[in-house]
């Protein structure tokens, strides 16, 4: 009986590990040739001192979100990018933190809550509109990239935001819906 339970537990662990996928940045998938047109972007905000950001379950949910969004974007004929933002003052610490958070297409590190990604996406020109600001936090937006002449990008159209590890995990459990 004990052997059967142990075998079943080991089989479950193996099957869960076999199903786990890791996000691969677009440059790895497309040999550096990034697409143009509609793009879905996930931006993750965290920092070294954020305790929930280091939780293995949260990290797994973040990874699942990147994989699911990349797959959905591909199914819809859009490209996908994952951006990791470390709100650390110390760039080396922020870089190490993001390396432990999985793969990203782009990193923004340093200047704490005033780095370029925080200023562009958290502290938007249109204001907070009663949005909570805390970490960990993710947002999903869409933009259009054009290479007609100089490369340009449209303003982001925000599709989804979640603040706090429970909200991010619940969103992932629901299948990463956005619109």
Q: Which residue range forms the structural domain that includes residue 119?
A: 35-173
pLDDT of residue 27: 60
* CA separation, residue 32 to residues 26, 35, 99, 115, 173 (Å): 7, 10, 20, 26, 31
Domain assignment present for 2: no
What are the DSSP calls for 145-171, one per residue? EE-SSS-EEPPPEEEEEEESHHHHHHH
pLDDT of residue 34: 56
Q: Please state the rounded mean pLDDT for residues 36-44.
A: 91
Domain assignment present for 29: no
**What confidence category does residue 125 fall into, taking pLDDT thresholds of 50, 70 and 90?**
low
Domain assignment present for 117: yes
| Cis amide prior to 136 (ω within 30 degrees) | yes
Looking at the 3D structure of the chain, how many domains does it have?
1
pLDDT of residue 21: 77
pLDDT of residue 134: 85
pLDDT of residue 89: 96
**pTM tops 0.75, yes or no:** yes
| Higher pLDDT pick, 126 / 91 | 91
Q: What is the mean pLDDT of the chain?
A: 83
Q: Please state the rounded mean pLDDT for residues 110-116.
A: 89
Domain assignment present for 82: yes
| CATH code of 126's domain | 3.40.30
Domain assignment present for 15: no
Distant-in-sequence, close-in-space partners of 44: CB < 8 Å, separation ≥ 6: 62, 82, 83, 84, 85, 101, 104, 136, 137, 138
Domain assignment present for 101: yes
Using one digit for the tens of pLDDT, what is the confidence trace for 55-73? 999 999 999 999 999 999 9
């Amino acid at each position: 009986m004990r052997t059967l339970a142990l075998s079943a537990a080991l089989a479950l662990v193996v099957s869960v590990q076999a199903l786990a996928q890791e996000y691969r940045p677009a440059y790895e998938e497309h040999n550096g040739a990034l697409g143009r047109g509609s793009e879905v972007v996930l931006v993750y905000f965290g920092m070294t001192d954020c305790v929930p950001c280091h939780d293995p379950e949260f990290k797994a949910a973040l990874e699942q979100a990147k994989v699911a969004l990349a797959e959905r974007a591909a199914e819809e004929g859009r490209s996908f990018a994952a951006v990791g933002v470390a709100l650390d003052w110390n760039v080396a610490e922020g870089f190490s933190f993001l390396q432990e958070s999985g793969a990203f297409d782009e990193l923004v590190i340093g200047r704490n809550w005033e780095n370029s990604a925080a200023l562009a996406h958290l502290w938007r020109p249109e204001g907070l509109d009663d949005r909570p600001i805390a970490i960990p936090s993710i947002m999903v937006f869409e933009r259009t990239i054009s290479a007609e002449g100089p490369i340009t990008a449209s303003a982001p159209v925000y599709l989804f935001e979640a603040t706090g590890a429970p909200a991010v995990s619940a969103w992932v459990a629901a299948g990463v819906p956005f619109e």
